Amino acid sequence: MFIPGQVSEIRLPKVLRFGTQTLQTLIPELKLYPVKRIGLISDKGLERAGVVEQIAAMLREAEFEVTTFTDIAGEPTFPLLARTIRFMQEAKAELIVGLGGGTAMDTAKATAALMDKEDPQPYMAGTAVIPNRTIPCVVLPTTSGTGSEVTYNAIFGDEATEVKRGIVSHALLPDVAIVDPLLTLSCPPKVTAASGVDAFTHAIESYIAVRATPLTRMYAEQAMKLFAPNIAKAVHFGSNIEGRVGMSMVSLLAGIALGNAGVGAVHALAYPLGGKYHIEHGVANALLMPYVFDVTAATCTEAFADVAGFLQLGDYAHRPHEAPQAVVQYLYGLLRTLDLPSTLRELGVDEAALPLMAQQASKIDRLLNNTPYRLNEQKILGIYRKAYTGF
């Protein structure tokens, strides 16, 4: 519903292209820029899968000079970002291509934005906001989950505080995002499952977010509708093009909603798991989602009735108070269907660490203030304890 006086805004890359075979438009798109030296940022997994060489060869054939940085294993940290920026500064890269999931894309976006900074530290620490991007940035997502191809944030592990932290600036929005679902065909089932549920987290959290607007809800709704029929297909039948196309679209739409409305408590509680235990972002979000909504959905039952409808769980419009449980049960069951862990104990989290994690999560105001439920440290600890043992 439009509220008079409310401002709805969507920011997108200048070019956003979606579809199978759209990778073929990469070279013509790059030729529009007066550049010769391209910095290709990706990671070890994609190198092993042969995808990095496939793209590097395309670039070389088109007579670009290519410098490749793939020294990334696991999710990115601020020291890694600093190293990547230095590497690309020395290579004098004139344009950055980010090839990969959220890890490679976030690193590429932040590198392209910070290339002219001799000391990028204040921007990484969050004490300065990046004013503008230095060199063009083109991204090619290879997972279907983070939506990083259309967001203006980038997330890194902070080794000092052992919590993940986002840097946010419009300068992080890529110039060009080419979403070719064929690039996700080689994505392993576990990554497909975790990143796919991550996309759903973006859709549902942005749908109920305090900052949600009619425009962002439209994207979130469509993402949730496409999620249910496609997630299991993409995970269990990885070469099924329909499932891959569906999940790439879910990721993209949910990314637009997330980028412009923000996410909430599920992400806040996931950050300490990523920072200290290096649990993949998608795995952490997928696991925590049912436990968090079990508590927080109480204040937004009508929105959960909508969500139950999008997931085809039944018509809860006249009994919205029952909708949260239907959604929570669906999400909990999904963990098993997709072979994802369903308790913190399974992930090897130390039970004695839960109070510190609750303290860390309770400080992530950016996300907690965007949640339509007031969570304090005590309540967060209660959620972690439940997630430790399971329902």
Q: Which residues would be at the binding site for ligand NAD (CB under 6 A)?
A: 43, 45-46, 49, 51, 75-76, 100-104, 106, 142-143, 145-148, 151, 153-155, 164, 183-184, 186-188, 191, 195, 198, 281-282
Tokens describing residue 85 = 């920026």
- The closest alpha carbon to 309, from 297, 294, 322, 323, belongs to 323
In angstroms, give the least distance from the CB of 99 to ligand NAD: 9
Q: What is residue 84's three-state secondary structure?
A: helix
Tokens describing residue 13 = 């890359």
Contact predicate 189/238, CB 8 Å: yes
**Enclosing H/E stretch for 324:** helix 323-337
Looking at residue 2, the DSSP 8-state letter turns out to be P
Query: How distant, in Å, are the alpha carbons of 15, 74, 109, 222, 269 from that of 25?
Result: 11, 29, 20, 26, 39
Cβ nearer to ligand NAD, comparing 38 with 51: 51
Helices first, then strands: H and E counts in the chain:
16, 8
Cβ nearer to ligand NAD, comparing 153 with 169: 153
| Amino acid in position 309 | G
Q: What is residue 17's three-state secondary structure?
A: strand
Cβ nearer to ligand NAD, comparing 142 with 296: 142
In angstroms, give the least distance from the CB of 179 to ligand NAD: 12
Alpha helices (H) in 24-101, listed in sequence order? 26-30, 44-48, 51-61, 78-90
Cβ nearer to ligand NAD, comparing 195 with 296: 195
Cβ nearer to ligand NAD, comparing 142 with 371: 142
Torsion angle of the four alpha carbons 91, 92, 94, 99, in this order, in degrees rounded to the nearest 10 = 20
Cβ nearer to ligand NAD, comparing 29 with 158: 158
In angstroms, give the least distance from the CB of 5 to ligand NAD: 28
In angstroms, give the least distance from the CB of 150 to ligand NAD: 8
- The closest alpha carbon to 367, from 259, 255, 265, 256, belongs to 265
Q: Angle CA(197)–CA(211)–CA(355) in degrees, nearest 5?
A: 60
Cβ nearer to ligand NAD, comparing 24 with 54: 54
In angstroms, give the least distance from the CB of 386 to ligand NAD: 24
In angstroms, give the least distance from the CB of 42 to ligand NAD: 8
Cβ nearer to ligand NAD, comparing 243 with 324: 243
Query: How far apart are the C-alpha atoms of 230 and 225, rounded to whole Å?
Result: 10
In angstroms, give the least distance from the CB of 225 to ligand NAD: 20
In angstroms, give the least distance from the CB of 75 to ligand NAD: 4
